[in-house]
Amino acid sequence: MRRIRVELEKRIDESYDIHLSADFIEEMLTRCDDGFFLADSAVYAFYEELFQGRKTFVLETSEKSKSMESFIKVLEFLHDNGCRRDGKLIAVGGGITGDLGGFAAASYMRGIDYVQVPTTLLSMVDSSVGGKTGINFLSSKNNVGAFHQPQAVYIDTDFLRTLDDEEYLNGLAEVIKYGALFSAVFFDMLLEKRDAVLERKADVLLEIISECCRMKAEVVKEDEKEQGVRKLLNFGHTFGHAIETDSGFAVKHGFAVAAGMYLENLFGLRQGYCSEESVNRLGEVLDAYGFEKEYKIKDTDVFFSALSADKKADKKGLTIVFAPEIGKGEWISGIKPGLIKDFFG
C-alpha cells in the first residue's frame, strides 16, 4: 500500500492520507462500514454484492446529474437514513459522484466527514484530492460549491480494469497536464511508456497515479483555496470548459482539457509567453495518445459566454495558464477576451 500525505499548511489537523493500492475494494468498504454510501450506478451494478447491508444511495451519473436536484436528493437520503453530525459520507464513483457527494457532506449539518473512493482515472488523479466540491448551476460548470477536504482518499487501481477506453483517456489528459506543468521527466516517461500506459500495466498505473497525487498534494499543501499556485491546475481548463459547453458536453472533460492545453499554449506562443518547443512537445504527447488538438467552435456566442463566465475571470479579464517550457507552469491574468476572439478567428 502506498500512502501520500496531503498536508494543509494552514489547517494541519485537517490533513489526510491518500491510500493507493490494487485489490483492496472490499477492505476499503469495510473500513467505512459505519458510513452512508453514495455510489455511481455503473460501479454499483458491478459491485452490487459489496454494497449489501450498507446504507447506499445509487446515483445515475451524467454531467446533468451534477445538479441542484441531485444535491437535494443526497441531502434527503442522509436525513431519511438518520445521518447525524458525526456521520460520514463515502463517495464511490467518478468526479461527478465525488464532487456532488463532497458538496452534500460540506453542507449537511454545516459539514460532516466524507471519504473519497474514486473509480475513474480522472477522479483518482484530480477531483478526489484537494477538497473542491460542487455542482453545476444555471448552465455553468462547478459554480456552486465549497472547499471541504475529505478525511481520506482510497484509490484502488483495480477499478480501472473495467473502465472503458474513452473514460480512461479522459483521465490521461489530466495526467499529461501534471507532466507539462511540473515535471519534464514525468512528461517524457509518458511518451516512453505510452504502450504500457495504454495497456494499463499495474506497475505503471501505480507509478503514474501516485506521482500525480504527490504533485497535487504539493500544490494543495501550499495553496488550498486557489489564491496562487493551485491556479496552475487550471491549465487547459479555461478553453476546455468553453469547448465542453459549446459542444453540449459531447466533448468529455479530459478531451476538452487536452485540446484546451494545446490551444492555450498555442495562444501563449502567439502572445510571446510560450516557447515553440513546449507547444510542439505537448502536441507530440497528445498525438501519441490520440487526442484531438484543435476544436471547431459551433456557436461563437455560447463559446465566448462560457469563456467569460469562467470562475477565474475578473473585471480585468481572463486568467490563462500556460506551460512556457515543459515541466514549468505559469499563469497570466488580465487577458482581454478580444485577444482570444482574434486567436480563434
Taking the complex as a whole, the smallest distance from the CB of residue 39 to ligand GLY amounts, in Å, to 22
> Which lies closer to ligand GLY via its Cβ, residue 78 or residue 219?
219
Nearer to ligand GLY, 169 or 257 (CB): 257
Minimum Å distance from CB 199 to ligand GLY?
A: 27
Apex CA 98: angle with CA 57 and CA 103, to 5°?
85
- Catalytic residue, chosen from 174, 211, 244, 264, is 174
In the complex, least distance from residue 225 CB atom to ligand GLY, rounded to whole angstroms: 10
Is 132 assigned a catalytic role? Answer: yes
Residues 6+ apart with CB under 8 A from 196: 204
At residue 65's C-alpha, the angle toward residues 260 and 30, to 5°, is 100
Catalytic residue check, 277:
no
Asked about 110 being catalytic, the answer comes back as yes
Is 159 annotated for ligand binding?
yes
Active site residue 136: no
Q: Using the minimum distance from each CB to ligand GLY, give the nearer residue, 126 or 244.
A: 126
DSSP-derived secondary structure letter, 226: S
CB atoms within 10 A of CB 156: 20
Residues near 327 by Cβ (< 8 Å), separated by ≥ 6?
179, 180, 181, 182, 183, 184, 185, 187
Residue 319 beta carbon to ligand GLY: minimum distance, rounded to whole angstroms: 13
Q: Would you put residue 195 in left (φ > 0), alpha (ψ -120 to 50) or beta?
A: alpha
- Extract the C-alpha cell encoding 161: 480494469
18, burial (CB in 10 Å: exposed 0-12, middle 13-18, buried 19+): buried
- Residue number closest to ligand GLY, CB atom: 233
Place of cell 472547499: 147
In the residue annotation, 241 being an active-site residue is answered as yes
Residue 162 counted as an annotated binding residue: yes
C-alpha–C-alpha distance, residues 146 and 328, integer Å: 28
- Enumerate binding residues for ligand GLY (CB under 6 A): 126, 130, 132, 230, 233
50/231 with CB nearer ligand GLY: 231
Do the annotations mark residue 64 as ligand-binding? no
Q: Annotation-wise, does 237 bind a ligand?
A: yes
Catalytic annotation, pick one of 10, 49, 69, 110: 110
160 is in an annotated binding site: yes
Q: What is the DSSP pairing of strand 318-325 with strand 328-335?
A: antiparallel
Q: Is 216 a catalytic residue?
A: yes
Residue 94 or 130: the one with the smaller Cβ distance to ligand GLY is 130
Residue 325 CB neighbour total at 10 angstroms: 15
Q: Which of 132, 148, 231, 252 is catalytic?
A: 132
By annotation, the residues acting in catalysis are 110, 132, 174, 216, 226, 230, 234, 237, 241, 253
Known binding-site residue numbers for NAD(+): 119-120, 132, 141, 159-162
Known binding-site residue numbers for Zn(2+): 174, 237, 253
Known binding-site residue numbers: 119-120, 132, 141, 159-162, 174, 237, 253
